[in-house]
Chains A and B, each alone.
Chain A
Amino acid sequence: MGQIQFINEFSPEEEFTLDKRIRLLKARKLRQTEEKIEMEGGLDEDDYGRVVPPDDFHFEFIPNNKNGSYYGYEGWRTNYCKLLDEHPLYCDPLDAFVGRGFFFMTRQKGAIWNPDLPYDDLKEAFDEYNIVCGIGSDGHFTPDLRMGFSMGWGGILEKLKKYRKINNGPEHEEFYKSEIMVVEHIISFLHRIAGEIAALAEEEQNPYLRQNLKEMAACNEKMAEGQPETLRECIQWMCWFSFFSRLYNRGPSGGQLDELLRPFYEHDIAEGILDDETAKFYIACLFLNDTRYYQLAGPDDNGNDMATHISYLILEAADWINIACNLTVRVHDNMNEDFFRKSVWYLFKNKNAWPRFSGDNSLVNGFMRLGYDKNLARKRLAAGCHWMSIPGMEYTLNDLVKINTAKVFEVAYTEMMREAAQTPPSTEILWQKFAKHLERAVDTTARGILFHLHNQDKNEPELICNLLSRGPVEEGADVTKSARYFNMCMDGAGIGTVADSFAACEQRIEKEGKITWEALTRQMDLDWHDIDGEYIRQMMLHSERYCGGDTLADHWAVRINELFSNLVRSMVPKIRALDPAYSEIQFIPGWFSWSNTLEFGSHVRATPNGRHNGEAINHGANPTFGFRKDGAVTAMANSIASVQPFYGNCAPVQLELDPKIANTPEGVEKMVAMIRTILETGNTLLNINIIDQHKVLEAHKDPSKYPDLVVRVTGFTAYFAMLSPEFRQLVVDRILAVNGDDPLMPEMRASSGC
């Protein structure tokens, strides 16, 4: 268990090719995934390229708070530097790089938020509306790796020292002291690692692998302080940055991968020291070490497509290693058609949920509505499960702040029925109450974000990401205080559940008179277990649904999105006026539940759409199971397009498609058209699982049968076997929803030809 070095695994005579190394590395990766499942059980999250630590490695944190955890500059720098000093080297002579880690400090440290910084005044509303407030959350923005390439760790240290002299007031002391200490430890860590690899090279008896280790040692020694010059050095630098940031707090997203690598690739080709096969090998090894989000292609400053030869090599490398790769291809007006087609082809060929696709028009035009110019908007890359970020420029809490609108609905509904004797219930009264409570939820959430910005450096300063952001080093303050832009995301969750509930009430109570408010409430209170409970539940469940196509619920969803978006945007002047320190803060609405779908559902009692007590709410902006008899993707995509807040963040479309759909060239062309149209009709992000329904159902019964089955869960990809049973069920439900739940489902309906 937890083997981390693989010296003399092969005989001295064993010969290797790059392809053989990839096959062996991938097989090892699958074994490590199985090991993670065995040691850690299900984990409903990204793969992160993590490995299980060796049995003899135990790290003791040094607390600086009576609750046993540590906080603030002093707590984090002390523990991080100690961990770097003790962290053993994971080294695989088959790999081109080192940089694998075992865990994230944020997961090991206990309570995330410093108890000495209370926010009790906000907690009541957070609990009432089941808000994920984001206070104390981290790492959901994009540092600019190019800053790191241009300086190296040595240059970063020099820059810190230079600015410490300029900003020499006491208010900056802790910042510079911590950052300098961290970077010095990073440099000494890398020197140590390089020495250890060199020692392993001496031990290794296979000459081919020994040579690789020697090259690896030299590369690491140089990267300890220097700037990368070659593609191998550049990727090694990226692997370590990924390691350093993940070790700290799970880390941020990547950036525009093809453009990050291109200068180094072109340099090596011009120098005659690299061929395409080796370049692909390096990139494939990057994916083994680092599963973070990267974007490919998309428009440059002039709107021309950025896809170049290395963009193709990246796709080919991802195809070669074919593991969970979080690659996003940007769909835009001047797109390289050939590259786009090829990316779609790989999606269907490998069925491993990569790449996914983002829609430039909606994202860029939406972001520009905040007052940013087009060039800046185009620099905002696909960076996470459902979010975008400008590398090195923005501080965000993307995907970390969520309001459970289904819970808000429940509060509103309960209040309406409590006052029923005075004011007869109606969907309009319910709407007024929903709007009132949603406003309170949004307002409290915005205040929570402001509280986070003020206090996060005293809780968990972004010691790693600060280094590659514009502002922190120059100003001597954490990114939460010094970023160029503060674009704070606020997501709603449960739009489908709420829209379906409003529509069910309107249809069955007000239009058809099939049931009264009182009778419905009684059934909901008893979780549909009163007389005729299941019958009434079925009636409510089969009302006009969100994503049905111009249905009552579709209209409610549009109304809910408008309300939510306007409320979130209304916080901008309010918070700016409240706090001049954040006079340019923006709040950006989105619709995304991430993997909180189950958690959120567990806090909400039965809802009028026939949902049981505690059942999951709808996923992201997707509809609930059985939204249409034919499960039409187009109907779903149209409805999701109609609820895009359109301010540069996303309400993603999550699709599950059968592989048979694109098993011919014509089929692939249809998918190319489908993806393009989904993104040209207002949608922002498209995640696609290509999944054999039979295979998933089998894997659901016995996950060990398919250890390499990768699915896109919410925005992230994960090994199906790594997911908890509840999450596997969610994936299965979504697949069944799109394939239709009716006996007259499409694949059973033969054309008239039969």
Chain B
Amino acid sequence: MSTTEGMITEIERFALNDGPGIRTTVFFKGCNMNCAWCHNPETISMKRDLHYYASKCISCYKCVYACPCKAQKRINNIHMYYPNLCVKCGKCAEICYAGAMAISGKKMTVAEVMHEVLQDKPYYLTSGGGVTLSGGEVLCQREFAEGIVDACHENGIKVAIESNLNFPWEEIESFIRKLDLVMCDLKIDDSTSHRKWTGADNTTIKASIASLAKSGTPFIVRTPLIPGATDSNENIAAIAAFLKEVDSNGSLLYYELLNFNPLGDTKYQSLKKKNPFAEARPLPKVRVEELKAIAEKAGIIVRAEE
């Protein structure tokens, strides 16, 4: 099996929300966009990140002696962590069994990933599930992703990806055509606003979605409902209209509205990063229903997560 290596944050088995059936989700590390509300901030950088969970600290101070750059300190018998001094070498996390210091990001080979993935094969087959490659942005590590897809297919396991599709179609087409399902995002229809909130223009994304629609690969498009950023009537209506226009051969399974998830804040705190949406809350159910109705007017199938 392939020895190609990739950088991942986590492999989650018994994943029920990342596609059809019972799945295993492999979270890739590293993203080509930088969405202001990202709920998996540890997956943005390609490099390793260090999380600090103060509530797990047992005050053993082993990290103070392990840290080569003095980012861990004992001050007045209190453990302190200074991320600006930290080079994310992970020496503290290696000896922190309590899990207060934890590295996210580990290199794994395709074979290592498959060792984990194959353990749940009977569940994929019975449930119509499989493996979902997520992230981060899967397409940033295309060779690694392709290795996993090929290995899964050799074992009769279906593969889906979650991607922002912010890549020229010609670069990703051959890979996309191998997949059993693509779940992609179109967060904001307006290009300027898209750039403002995600750091990237949406022209390539829309072009890739249009090409994806023509390719015949089944796909789902999703919009996270971020208060003040993506949740306007106009934005949802425009995305729905775009999808109706490009879905010429019915490969779009449905358009999904994902309500804001406030739980990512813990991760921002552990990474000592500022969370611009720390105070935001999910949209009321009635508002989600309103937006769903607006999207449905375009004549496409719409689902809304509770």
| A binding-site residues for B, Cβ under 8 Å | 532, 534-535, 538-539, 541-542, 549-550, 629-630, 632-635, 638, 660-661, 663, 666-667, 669-670, 673-674, 676-677, 680-681, 742-744, 746-754
Contacts and interface: CB of A to CB of B under 8 A. Distances in A.
Nearest to B185: A753
A663 B126 contact: no
28 contacts: A534-B58, A538-B58, A550-B119, A629-B10, A630-B10, A632-B12, A634-B123, A635-B13, A635-B14, A635-B120, A663-B306, A666-B20, A667-B16, A670-B22, A673-B22, A673-B128, A677-B122, A680-B126, A743-B51, A743-B266, A744-B10, A744-B42, A751-B17, A751-B18, A751-B134, A753-B222, A753-B258, A754-B258
Contacts of A677: 22, 122-123, 126-127
Nearest to B38: A754
Most chain-B CB neighbours within 10 Å: which of A542, A670, A743, A751? A751
Given A549-B119, A680-B126, A748-B267, A674 B22 contact: yes
Nearest to B96: A538
Contacts of A674: 22, 123, 127
A747 B35 CA distance: 20
B15 A746 contact: yes
A277 to B, nearest CB: 34
A744 B49 CA distance: 13
B270 interface: yes
Contacts of B123: 634, 673-674, 677
A659 to B, nearest CB: 12
B22 A752 contact: no
Interface in B103-127: 104, 115-116, 119-120, 122-123, 126-127
Contacts of B35: 754
B97 A750 contact: no
A19 B97 CA distance: 57
Contact of B261 (A666, A752, A754): A754
A544 B115 CA distance: 16
B40 A676 contact: no
A632 B13 CA distance: 6
Nearest 4 pairs of A and B residues by beta carbon? A673-B127, A750-B39, A632-B13, A538-B97
Contacts of A541: 97
B218 interface: no
B62 interface: yes
A658 to B, nearest CB: 10
A658 B43 CA distance: 26
Nearest to A663: B306
B12 A753 contact: no
A534 B137 CA distance: 39
Contacts of A535: 58, 60, 62, 97-98
B183 A753 contact: yes
B185 A538 contact: no
Nearest to B12: A630
Nearest to A629: B10
Contact of A661 (B16, B27, B222, B258): B16
A633 B266 contact: no
A752 B134 contact: yes
A542 B267 contact: no
B99 A542 contact: yes
Contacts of B164: 752
Contact of A635 (B119, B266, B306): B119
B126 A750 contact: no
A752 B40 contact: yes
A750 B40 contact: yes
A670 B123 CA distance: 9
Contact of B266 (A538, A669, A681, A748): A748
B27 A749 contact: yes
A670 B119 contact: no
A681 B123 CA distance: 9
A533 to B, nearest CB: 10
B162 interface: yes
Contacts of A634: 13-14, 22, 119-120, 123
B79 to A, nearest CB: 13
A669 B97 contact: no
Contact of B53 (A542, A661, A743): A743
A677 B17 CA distance: 19
Nearest to B163: A752
A750 B138 CA distance: 15
Contacts of A538: 58, 97-98
Nearest to B270: A743
A176 to B, nearest CB: 55
Nearest to A741: B99
A677 B22 CA distance: 11
B264 interface: yes
B136 interface: yes
Interface in B130-173: 134-138, 162-164
A550 B12 contact: no
Contact of B122 (A550, A670, A680): A680
Given A549-B119, A746-B12, A753 B97 contact: no
